[in-house]
A = this chain, B = another copy of it.
Amino acid sequence: MYRTHNCGALSLEHLNQKVTLSGWVQKNRNKGFIIWIDLRDRYGITQLVLDEERTPKSIFDSAQGLGREFVIQVQGTVIERESKNPNITTGAIEVLVEDLKILNPSKTPPFTIENETDGGEELRMQYRYLDLRRNPVKANLLFRHQVSMAVRNYLSKDGFIDVETPYLIKSTPEGARDFVVPSRMNEGQFYALPQSPQTFKQLLMVGGLDKYFQIVKCFRDEDLRADRQPEFTQIDCEMAFVEQEDILAQFEGLTRHLLKEIKGIDIADFPRITYDEAIKTYGNDKPDIRFEMKFCELNAVAQGKGFGVFDSQELVVGISVPGAAEMSRKEIDALIDWVKRPQIGAKGLVYVKCNADGSFKSSVDKFFSPEDLSTWATHCQAKAGDLILILSGEIKTTRTQLSALRMEMATRLGLRKPEVFAPLWITDFPLLEWDEESKRFHAMHHPFTAPKPEHLDLLKTDPAAVKANAYDLVLNGNEIGGGSIRIHDQELQSQMFDLLGFTKEEAQAQFGFLMDAFQFGAPPHGGIAFGLDRLVAILGGEETIRDFIAFPKNNSGRDVMIDAPAPLDALQLKELNLKTTSTDKE
């Protein structure tokens, strides 16, 4: 047996017990006549002590040679420490070592195994197995496990069945690019890895399974932006005989449960706003509502007063930044530079300081009276001490710019508090979005999303105006889940494919099985999918998903540790009846 206890288990109640421990050498402090070793494992750190008087000489000598990350096994007696460490559970004791065995030596690790390491991202990824030994990374994986288990147990208790859907499916050119898998047994044919189990979960509803969930890997061959992974994990759910309200209630319940069980936070009913309202109020469809600074549209009160910059624009819109009236001229100039950067692209920024004494100071004093500014302040619900920031221009662009400014101000003011959780439902998404490049409609959510029944007629006359029973769950400015009520009628699904530019033949070849299924008694159904990587990161108080994935890939989709992807054997390619372009070139 390698151990009687782990390195986090011993305390004063084990005094004088003979114990066996195994673990890694975290620190070896050699004072010449006495050696203290911090022995580490997943569960904690236990201090070992060896001294010239009490320890057999061969053991003492051997301990002197122990370097960082050596794996050792020791036997000894639990004794009370002279100087106790109240910060760790084992801080009151140490183990007087009587026997020591080196289980495996270690080369000096390329970075320190400490909470704050000296290793850079690239090095940490190359030696991820060493990075995992660091407390913050290990804690993230434990946290992820805890979240997954809480999700599974909650849904299972609510009657959801975990059903495994296939990974080797069929490629569909709609949406993002598929990763594909050549079939050796079916020459010239390929499987695709699922971007999501969407059609399968719908078929499970047609199959009467009623409530389905799965925590499942999905795959997208996209050009990776920062913090995207080619493989990612989804909490995938679907329910039959439900309306939107049933689904929102069910998964608001799940999210509330997670916040309570994982974070100890009670949250009452989640607020809901429509997509249009979100865009109008926050300039984007995943607003962070941990803070206010709602958009106030000022066209009615700021135009027609002779200030040309405003008068000529589609939209004049501001936010009131709480307590920021104190900002210096220099700080405000820097802010103006910030919004003019190409990433934001605003032409300028108008500000109004709402001074403590009730007066106003603005960059457009020349054009507007104090009464005008007071009206703006009322519109923007600005109080004394607040700073109103105003952008103007084309509607969509200006909203996007002001949304970025709103987030920036929140960050500067420390309003994006990781310990505060503010969930929000966004509902009534448009069914379609127009793609200028391909000159056709794309499904905003996916081609299986049902239009609102009352908008069915609009499908033929004004498709862009059709809203869907589609919803996102937003947490702290991140979309953590999204879903919709699905089409369950074969005619409507067929019409939808038409609208998206599929020929009858394409629709049949790619989704014939689904439209067939809809003819054999498909129930009304809908669902949702949560991005587990992001959900866990946000619950963990961070925004980078990579730190919550055991073996992530870099921005080129490479696993730098195992060095994948890699070229194949010629024999493998031959068996697959494949040639690569690079083979041709040789």
Binding site for B on A (CB under 8 A): 1-3, 6, 22, 24, 40-43, 69-71, 103-107, 109, 127-133, 138, 141-142, 144-145, 148-149, 152-153, 156, 161-171, 173, 177-193, 199-200, 203-204, 206-211, 217, 219, 221, 223-224, 230-231, 233, 241-243, 245-246, 488-489, 512-513, 516-524, 549-551, 553, 556-559, 561-569, 571-572, 575-584
Contacts and interface: CB of A to CB of B under 8 A. Distances in A.
25 contacts: A22-B241, A71-B521, A103-B523, A104-B489, A107-B519, A130-B207, A130-B520, A149-B156, A149-B162, A168-B219, A169-B562, A173-B572, A180-B181, A181-B565, A184-B221, A185-B224, A185-B557, A188-B580, A189-B566, A189-B567, A203-B561, A204-B550, A512-B563, A513-B562, A577-B580
B553 A166 contact: yes
Contact of A168 (B105, B231, B241): B231
Contacts of A241: 2-3, 22, 41
Of the listed residues A22, A138, A180, A488, the one surrounded by the most CB atoms of chain B closer than 10 A to its CB is A180
Given A107-B519, A167-B217, A567-B190, A203 B145 contact: no
Given A165-B551, A557-B185, A577-B582, A132 B567 contact: no
Nearest to A161: B145
Contact of A42 (B189, B190, B210, B584): B210
Nearest to A523: B71
Contacts of A182: 180, 182, 580
Contacts of A519: 106-107
Contacts of A138: 207-209
Contact of A142 (B103, B161, B245, B581): B161
By Cβ-Cβ distance, the 7 closest A-B pairs, closest first, are A132-B207, A188-B582, A106-B521, A170-B564, A577-B581, A189-B565, A2-B241
Of the listed residues A138, A190, A209, A224, the one surrounded by the most CB atoms of chain B closer than 10 A to its CB is A190
Contacts of A567: 188-190
Contacts of A22: 241, 523
A566 B127 CA distance: 39
B164 A233 contact: yes
B208 A520 contact: no
Contact of A104 (B43, B488, B513, B564): B488
Contacts of A180: 181-182, 568, 572, 576
Contacts of A231: 166-168
Contact of A163 (B3, B141, B209, B522): B141
Contacts of A71: 521-523
B177 A179 contact: no
Given A578-B578, A581-B188, A520 B566 contact: no
A556 B107 contact: no
- Count identical subunits in the complex: 2
A178 to B, nearest CB: 8
A181 B181 contact: yes
Given A162-B149, A241-B22, A170 B520 contact: no
Given A164-B233, A168-B179, A513-B563, A69 B145 contact: no
A194 B24 CA distance: 30
A104 B170 CA distance: 27
Contacts of A209: 42, 132, 138, 141
B188 A184 contact: no
B164 A207 contact: no
Nearest to A522: B104
A148 to B, nearest CB: 6
Given A207-B129, A208-B138, A166 B557 contact: no
Contact of A171 (B144, B165, B566, B577): B566
B2 A243 contact: yes
Given A129-B203, A563-B513, A572-B173, A583 B188 contact: yes
Contact of A223 (B133, B149, B185): B185
A145 B141 contact: no
Contacts of A170: 559, 562-566
Nearest to A516: B127
Given A24-B208, A104-B522, A149-B162, 10 more contacts: A2-B246, A128-B207, A145-B162, A165-B551, A167-B219, A171-B569, A182-B580, A186-B565, A187-B580, A190-B566
Nearest to A68: B521
A69 B207 CA distance: 11
Contacts of A145: 156, 161-163
B104 A521 contact: yes
A148 B130 contact: no
A581 B181 CA distance: 15
Contacts of A577: 580-582
